[in-house]
């Protein structure tokens, strides 16, 4: 943008800030959120500088703000899918109903069922270290297993930080229908969770 003046450049930052982080009308709230708004503004400014360095000055603050918000939306959608999987499959002492989850998430009951699958169930297990209730054991077969990592290692045992290194011998099925890999050492734990 060869005809851009420094004033235009400055004004664009102010306009986008006013849209993304409007100043709260309540003076106390404005004070309380000042730090958070300042941090968010700073992160966006740094991303803008980085984008201009990588893609040239035509990749401006407005495009960075749009990319930022799309990323936030994608991240929120992903977390909603994971929380729905958690509520349906892992929640103790009993799962939430499709109706209560749907009402909270703005989805129909069938929309809740469609919102997650084996990938989400396994991601929740990885993040929380929990395993869903079990239903069925078969011999391990990489072709019937649900997640990529279950093809080569025991995913029923271990944790994110310390994956199980034993040879996977069984394909175990959880209540959601996802098939996990399981070793001899972790099979007793799986069987215990069936009863
Ligand atoms: Zn194991």
Whether 146 is covered by a domain: the verdict is yes
141 Cα: distance to centroid of ligand 1 (angstroms): 15
Give the distance (Å) from ligand 1 centre to CA of residue 168.
7
| Count of the separate structural domains present in the chain | 2
pLDDT digits (tens, 9 = 90+) for 151-179: 999 999 888 889 999 999 999 998 888 89
Q: Is the dihedral of CA 68, 74, 77, 81 positive or negative?
A: negative
Domain ends where: 52, 77, 102?
Answer: 77
Using CA atoms, how far apart are residues 159 and 35, in angstroms rounded to an integer?
A: 36
Where is the domain boundary, 30, 61, 77? Answer: 77
At residue 116, φ and ψ (nearest 5 deg) are: -140, 160
Instruction: Tell me, yes or no, if the pTM score tops 0.85.
Output: no
Residue 91 in any domain: the answer is: no
Report the separation in Å between the CA atom of 88 and the middle of ligand 1, taken as the mean of its atom positions. 25
Residues 23-74 pLDDT 10s: 999 999 999 999 999 999 999 999 999 998 999 888 889 999 999 999 999 9
Pairing of the two strands 170-174 and 179-182: antiparallel
CA 63 – ligand 1 centroid, Å: 46
What distance in angstroms lies between residue 118's CA and the mean position of ligand 1's atoms?
19
How many other C-beta atoms are found inside a 10 Å radius of the C-beta of residue 52?
15
Distance of CA 88 to the CA centre of its chain: 16
User: Domain range holding 51?
Assistant: 6-77
In a domain, 84, yes or no: no
């Amino acid at each position: 943008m060869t005809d851009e003046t420094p004033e235009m450049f400055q004004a664009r930052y102010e306009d986008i800030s006013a849209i993304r982080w409007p100043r709260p009308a309540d003076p106390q709230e404005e004070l309380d959120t000042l730090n958070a708004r300042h941090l968010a503004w700073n992160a966006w400014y740094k991303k803008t500088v980085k984008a201009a360095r990588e893609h040239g000055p035509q990749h401006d603050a407005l495009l960075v703000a749009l990319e930022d918000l799309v990323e936030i939306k994608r991240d929120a959608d992903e977390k909603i899918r994971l929380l729905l999987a958690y509520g349906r499959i892992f929640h103790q002492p009993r799962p939430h109903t499709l109706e209560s989850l749907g009402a909270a998430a703005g989805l129909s009951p069938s929309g809740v069922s469609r919102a997650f699958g084996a990938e989400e169930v396994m991601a929740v297990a990885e993040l929380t270290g929990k395993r869903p209730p079990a239903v069925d054991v078969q011999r391990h077969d990489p072709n019937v297993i649900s997640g990529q990592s279950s093809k080569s290692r025991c995913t029923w045992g271990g944790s994110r930080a310390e994956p199980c290194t034993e040879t996977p011998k069984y394909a175990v099925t959880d209540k959601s229908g996802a098939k996990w890999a399981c070793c001899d050492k972790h099979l007793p734990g799986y069987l215990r969770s069936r009863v």
